[in-house]
Structure 1
Amino acid sequence: MTTTTRMPVYFVSHGGGPCFFMDWNPPDTWTSLGNWLRGIGGEISARPTAIIVVSAHWEADDFSVTGAAQPSLIYDYHGFPPHTYQLQYPAPGAPTLAQQIVERLRAAGLPSQRDDARGWDHGVFVPLMLMFPDADIPVVQLSLRRGLDAAEHLAAGAALAGLRDEGVLIVGSGYSYHNMRGYGGAGERAAAEFDGWLQTTITATAPAQRAAALRRWEDAPSARAAHPREEHLLPLMVAAGAAGDSAGTCVYTDRVWNIATSGFRFG
């Protein structure tokens, strides 16, 4: 009889565009974050059967799921060196899993559809190139839903939680701070305040209280200064919903361009 290891859930800060595959000044700007992402695959106790990535870079009227057997890549960044538009991540898609996701979301009362034409944006392929460089695990991308309602995205994660017991790794891919005007120092205080709240909320509260606090994230210190628009935070809501009763741990924290940056694991 084959047993499947229950997978953890991650929220990763995915950097800026193809940042890990180009030169920066200073040269170590993205080294710490990149090294953490490279270590994630090795810290999971078993090979995932598939990966679901919720990226900040896809919003749809309904929760939408990539359904192609071999999705293309979407180079949705601008002004970067030419070689970054040649990056490849030839992992297979997972049409059967995509349909299961659609059905689970609909059963939870959440509008959902399969999109067989959509490719993977950089919020998917850039971190996965570091996390699972062999590109041999099937991948499905799940969109955010327009309206960006925190409670709805927590519910979407909860609807998918059972897939963890089938060996499916769920990854929220966004950024713990996302205010482009704040990088370089202007947002340092706001980032630190919001990141402190985020770490406490994820790691030091019981799951029910954690979910309640995340629903009211706008009440957190410097919340709107850290996220003028919340699309880079909502993948964390999906991850926390999928976590269920699993405890949360801050498994990465550092400063990038003087901005507090964190990553979390549940379970």
Structure 2
Amino acid sequence: MVQPALFVAHGSPTLAIEENDYTKFLRRLGQEMLDRPRAAVIFSAHWESPVQLVSADDRHQTMHDYYGFPEEMYRIRYPAAGDPLLADEIISRFKAGNLPSRTVEGRGLDHGAWVVLRAMFPEGDIPVVELSVDAKRSPAEQYAIGKMLGELRSDNVLIIGSGGLVHNLRRIAGEGTDPAAWAVLFDDWIGEQLVSWNLRSLFEYDKKAPHAKEAVPTYATEHFAPLLYAMGAADSDRQAVKLFQDYQYGSLSLNCWMFGNRPDR
């Protein structure tokens, strides 16, 4: 079975306790739109490293890597299993691509990973391997790293990039605020490049996209990077479908893109 690759925005950590159109969509995505994967490999914006890191735990702890949120946010557990054998296979593929990498044990799943996975697979019964991102790499390099894992999709492995296309916490507004025009223009421009698989423009989004500096400030490039990792994993297909787009707090975008396989349900 061939799985798609996905880019999934993880929004605010409070998505873990909210009931809204996006959380409903994520549940439907995991339960109705996707065939059941044997494992999920997720690149998270909240794990940065210049060396490619790969989780190799038998069972993941749940990281509460945020502060100032409701107490119930700190009681949530998502003890998904890991997949050390898959982690080793991923390392082998990175070595074949001359990418410095190593496995890590005992870290746990950060909220960029578990908030998304818990919404999609609430039973926690899909083994998970989490991967770091390197926001200092070029978009072309990030894409190439994802491409190294593309063949895993044919082995029923779901590859996910978890981040946010518009992620400027200094520009967010009050809850319920209408989407900011500049944020929508940026998202729509990115969407045009994805649908046409225009890598030349996409790799220069910081210079070509409208409002790029507002949408992806220098302190938040790690949230945009997972898009390129996920997209690279579908290089052999080069198909992109937007499944969802909305906004929290006026400009924090909630996007989900599917690469490689078109939903048929």
Whether TM-score is above 0.5 comes out as: yes
State whether structure 2 residue 234 is matched by structure 1 residue 243: yes
Structure 1 residues 2-17: aligned runs within 5 Å: 5-17=1-13
State whether structure 2 residue 73 is matched by structure 1 residue 89: no
Q: Residues 52 and 33 of structure 1: is their aligned pair in 2 closer, same or farther, counting only changes over 3 Å?
A: same
Aligned length: 252
Instruction: Supply the RMSD in Å over aligned alpha carbons.
Output: 1.7
Is the 8 Å Cα contact of residues 10 and 163 (structure 2) preserved in structure 1? yes
Match of 2:258 in 1: 265
SS in 1 for 2:46: strand
Is the 8 Å Cα contact of residues 54 and 173 (structure 1) preserved in structure 2? yes
**Offset, 1:11:** 0.6
SS in 2 for 1:169: strand
- Alignment deviations for residues 59-100 of structure 1 (CA, whole Å, 9 cap, x no partner): 012110101111212111110111111111121000011111
Cα distance in 1 for residues equivalent to 2:169 and 2:248: 13
Cα distance in 1 for residues equivalent to 2:34 and 2:106: 33
**Offset, 1:117:** 2.4
State whether structure 2 residue 50 is matched by structure 1 residue 57: no
Cα distance in 1 for residues equivalent to 2:135 and 2:228: 14
**What are structure 1's unaligned runs of at least 5 residues?**
23-29
Match of 1:215 in 2: 203
Cα distance in 2 for residues equivalent to 1:104 and 1:212: 25
User: What is the identity percentage for the equivalent residue pairs of Structure 1 and Structure 2?
Assistant: 36
Q: Return the match for 1:165 from 150, 154, 172.
A: 154
SS in 2 for 1:263: strand
In structure 2, what residue type is equivalent to 1:243?
A: A
**What are structure 2's unaligned runs of at least 5 residues?**
none
Cα distance in 2 for residues equivalent to 1:45 and 1:225: 33
Q: Return the match for 1:200 from 192, 213, 217.
A: 192
Q: Return the match for 1:39 from 8, 16, 28.
A: 28
State whether structure 2 residue 222 is matched by structure 1 residue 231: yes
Match of 1:26 in 2: none
Structure 1 residue ranges (4+ consecutive) displaced by more than 6 angstroms after TM superposition: none
**Offset, 1:146:** 5.2
What TM-score results when the alignment is normalised by the length of structure 1? 0.89
